[in-house]
Chain A
């Protein structure tokens, strides 16, 4: 199965933003969520996750804060910012257009 390394970096960020749109989450939680939402297809490697999170943070699309989990452990939680929400919407639209275009090419049965 394609690992997160094979996915475009940008796609990972899209997935992270999408995940955080549901609710604030810590890093490990994000990987688990994506795994579940992709029906076990996508397994995110820590090597890509945290740099990605850092990038998103630098661009101001997510913010982080330290909180305690249900098990009373300290963890860093990330959440979407307002700018992040806008970015998510825009990247989602881009993805839809790109993927439908690719599908169109792959399913071409017509003539030139």
Chain B
């Protein structure tokens, strides 16, 4: 018989099985009838004849069918189909168990997939730069003040670039706040990046349109050209293709647009800025929208100033350590050649990825930890449920073995059942993952680099991996029950399982399951509780200043109308006048109780500078830099910052008066512990200034860091072209915010105003990353809590109902219903208690791991531990009560009959 015929047969047996089975039945029926007829012919009556015929056919009918099936070679397919329907029926008949298992799997797989998809997009997938692992930041260091990660000087940069072999190329860049004035519209502030012409090449970017700067354009006094980002192209020019012939007014000057770069060209400038010890005037936040040629030269940027960040690319055959050594040697050389400018200055390189991702790494690792934990809990839950169920079915399996089912057949059925469960759970998990991803993206602060890329969707590989894990767990624990059954003699098992109460083996396992489930649940709830309470603590921290009712507005004075002429400094009359006017006009806004201008608002760490106390120069060589803040006289009132000693700054401390300063308590604690600070002089920027007062501490480095040493100097004595207007007002926010912008514009309509918001918003934004981490942690800890509770509840309830028969027997032997219920409950509570005890110890260990995220709360906070134990204990108790009462209510005989 040909292969074609065989195939035809095979296909026929799959697709026409019903017809084939029908025909088979008909054939066998015919045979039965004919045989019966024969018996009738031999003298039996009709009924007897049929009975004999059936007996003849009898047990072999199934065998016939099976044997013929065997011949067709589709036996396994039929059996699997049967197993599948059996499995679904089993799952349907045990809704509590199935629901618990499916929910657990769905939550576990969903959470893990969502989080890992985000992680992958943000942390693991490389940004669209060519070979970005070869990019490094070249930082200068100052051994005198101990600062690392300083921007570099222009002549240093040129020297590094020329001399280094291990770096292919270095680009210098810095951020700049600029004003863009589209025709006839209000000026808008943007962040621009000024960079050397090789910047894009070094970074590995390609323009979408046009070209990058040429060498000529990058010279001091070079052409006014600019590159714009893709989103700016869309906003300002509607994505017009002729943008390359257009001009843009930047800082009051027309620039030619020579190209468009993709938005990802800003691969983490905010993070670099945050990592740097200080930086030039670069305050506007957000992604860079414009790119200007740096046009730097040694005249404007001598070796003594350090304004530029340096981005380098490692040469093909060099590596970090070697490159570091080479650059350090070059720096030492420069130190020798230029002792006055480069004394005590060094250099080191750091991978760009470390800088850009450093800030968000802790958050992301926390997320990873949570995801793993959730998956582990889910698997443990499912395993527990399956084990419990397996143990309960040992008897059923033994009976079936005794009736002739092969161990292989039984395992296969259990495997099919577990797989079905896992697949349903997995599919549900994918839906949960999709929802979870959307949730994470909604909660995430925009400044986690590249988080927008995660919106692309779930990473299918991760989904597949979690699905696989759940399948494996299901397989493993689902088929475990067969292992003892297949080895043992079925009779023995029957005898053992036929006993009315559980043997010691089964009881031990049951106890172990409950205890472990409770322990896990308790430790998770505790961790969740600690994280949640930390979050609350952070927001409750006293920032040292009263932020409620304070509003800020940033302004910039363009140098075209407010010349920054250092030969007249500090007599910058235009700037002084503007500042005075702005303060006066905002003070007259109804509801405003205090107004002042500061170079930086209270949450901006601003400048740090090297300094000394006159008379303690030697000692001061080792002092770190001090934070320097420039304010108008009303600052202390506006921020309600108490004065501890001496006097405030006032109007008489102007450009013609002797330079004075205030210092904060932290400074006094550190360097004036045994000296009177008032009257002493300190020196920075080459000017001696007398200390006239001491103020309380402000947490300018964010809520979770202590206030650093700060010195406050009058803005009038140290004018600048940008600042922040701060007002305190009791009026509703909308009125105040509008009034602020108007006040500034009324002084000079051409000023760009930005960052106008209540200070409270700024504070919230400053903790946004932490807030995100904690919110997420809380959300996912909550879901593990849910998982844990489902697990404990499901398990205890299932096991309690398994003891129904035992309870029935006890009652039949004379125990009262209440005593039996009490017995079961006592047993459950005892197990729960040991589980809780273990869980507490586990939690103490786990919380040490996350202690980096805890704030204001100890890792062993009693209240949290107690609450968690209570919640879980209650869940266990609640789970056991229902089945216990229900079983006790049923008649003892009915109880013994339940199988």
Given A58-B9, A73-B30, A28-B1 contact (CB < 8 Å): no
**Would you call A50 an interface residue if the criterion is a C-beta within 8 Å of the partner chain's C-beta atoms?**
yes
Chain A interface SS verdict (over half): helix
CB distance from B78 to the nearest CB of A (A): 15
Instruction: Say how far A110's CB is from chain B's closest CB, in angstroms.
Output: 45
Q: How far is the CB of A42 from chain B (nearest CB, A)?
A: 15
The reply to whether the CB of A97 lies closer than 8 angstroms to some CB of chain B is no
Q: B57 to nearest A CB, angstroms?
A: 6
Bound: A83/B2 CA distance, A: 12
Known: A47-B60, A75-B30. A55 touches B71 (CB 8 A): yes
* Residues 389-414 of B at the A interface (beta carbon under 8 Å): none
**Contact of A74 with B by CB under 8 A:** yes
CB atoms of A54 and B1 under 8 A apart: no
Shortest Cβ distance from A56 into chain B, in angstroms?
Answer: 10
Cross-chain contact of B30 among A54, A55, A60, A74 (Cβ < 8 A): A74
* B64-A28 in contact (CB<8A): no
With A28-B34, A28-B35, A58-B71 already in contact, the answer to whether A50 and B27 are too (CB < 8 A) is: yes
> Of A54, A55, A58, A74, which contacts B26 at CB under 8 A?
A74
Q: Which A residues are in CB contact (< 8 Å) with B6?
A: 58
Residue numbers in B under 8 Å from A26 (CB-CB): 27, 30
Within 8 A of A (CB), among B481-539: none
B585, CB-defined interface residue at 8 Å = no
Distance of A45 Cα from B67 Cα, bound (Å): 13
Number of interface residues of A (CB under 8 A): 20
Contact residues of B between 33 and 86, Cβ < 8 Å to A: 33-35, 38, 56-57, 60-61, 63-64, 67-68, 70-72
Pair B68/A54 contact, Cβ less than 8 Å: yes
Establish whether residues A58 and B1, one from each chain, have CB atoms under 8 Å apart when the complex forms.
yes
Residue of A45, A54, A55, A59 touching B60 (CB-CB under 8 A): A45
Which residues in A have their C-beta under 8 angstroms from that of B2?
60
Complex CA distance for A26 and B26, rounded to whole angstroms? 12
**Cα of A53 to Cα of B761 in the assembled complex, Å:** 86
Residue in chain A with minimal CB distance to B70: A51
CB of B325 closer than 8 Å to a CB of A: no
CB contact under 8 A between A27 and B5, given known A50-B68, A51-B67, A54-B68: no
Q: How far is the CB of A88 from chain B (nearest CB, A)?
A: 16
Task: Say yes or no: B67 contacts A28, CB within 8 Å.
Answer: no
Contact B70 A28 (CB under 8 A): no
Contacts of A32 in B (CB 8 A): 38
Contact A46 B70 (CB under 8 A): no
Q: How large is the interface on B (under 10, 10 to 19, 20 to 34, 35 or more residues)?
A: 20 to 34
A62 to B415, CA, bound (A): 41
Tell whether, in the assembled complex, residue B31 and residue A28 are in contact, meaning their CB atoms are under 8 Å apart.
yes
Query: Smallest distance from the beta carbon of A28 to chain B beta carbons, Å?
Result: 4
Of chain A, the residue at the smallest CB distance from B38 is A32
Q: For the complex, is A76 an interface residue (Cβ under 8 Å from B)?
A: yes
* Interface assignment of B28: CB less than 8 Å from any CB of chain A: yes
In angstroms, how far is the closest chain A Cβ from the Cβ of B551?
90
Cβ of A71 to closest chain B Cβ, rounded Å: 9
Give the residues in chain A near B64, CB-CB below 8 Å. 46-47, 50-51
Total A-B contacts with CB atoms under 8 angstroms apart:
57
Inter-chain contacts of B253 with A (CB < 8 A)? none
Report how far A47 CA is from B31 CA in the complex, Å: 12
B67 touches A27 (CB 8 A): no
A27/B31 in contact, CB under 8 A: yes
**Contact (Cβ within 8 A) B5 A75:** no
Query: Contacts of B34 on A, CB cut-off 8 Å?
Result: 28
Are B1 and A76 in contact (CB-based, < 8 A)?
no
Q: Is the CB of A76 within 8 A of B35?
A: no
Which of B2, B31, B56, B63 has the most chain A CB atoms inside 10 A of its CB? Answer: B31
B27 touching A76, Cβ below 8 Å: yes
Docked Cα-Cα span, A41 to B71, in Å, equals 28
B157 to chain A, nearest CB (A): 85
CA distance A26 to B57 in the complex (A): 16
Q: Which residues of A45-103 are within 8 A (CB) of B? A: 45-47, 50-51, 54-55, 58-60, 66, 73-76, 83
Closest to B26 in A: A74
Interfacial chain A residues near B28, Cβ < 8 Å: 46, 50
Chain A residues, Cβ within 8 Å of B298: none
Q: How far is the CB of B671 from chain A (nearest CB, A)?
A: 101
Residue B861, interface by CB 8 Å = no
How far in angstroms is the closest Cβ of chain B from A22? 19
Q: Name, among A26, A58, A66, A83, the residue most crowded by chain B CB atoms within 10 Å (CB to CB).
A: A58
Interface centre among B9, B34, B35, B72 (most CB of A within 10 A): B34
- Return chain A residues, CB-CB under 8 Å to B72: 54
Question: Which residue of chain A has the shortest Cβ distance to B67 in the bound complex?
Answer: A51
Tell yes or no: B23 within 8 A of A by CB. Answer: yes
Which residue of chain B has its CB nearest to the CB of A59? B1
Interchain nearest-CB distance for A45 vs B (Å): 7
- 9 chain-A/chain-B pairs, Cβ below 8 angstroms: A47-B63, A47-B64, A50-B27, A50-B28, A55-B71, A60-B1, A74-B26, A76-B30, A83-B1
Interface residues of A (CB under 8 A from B): 26-28, 32, 45-47, 50-51, 54-55, 58-60, 66, 73-76, 83
14 additional contacts, CB 8 Å, given A58-B1, A76-B27? A26-B30, A28-B35, A46-B56, A46-B60, A50-B28, A50-B64, A51-B64, A54-B71, A60-B1, A66-B23, A73-B33, A76-B23, A76-B26, A76-B30
Closest A-B pairs by Cβ, 9 of them: A60-B1, A47-B60, A51-B67, A28-B34, A54-B71, A28-B31, A54-B68, A75-B30, A76-B27
Name B's A-contacting residues (CB within 8 A).
Answer: 1-2, 5-6, 9, 23-24, 26-28, 30-31, 33-35, 38, 56-57, 60-61, 63-64, 67-68, 70-72
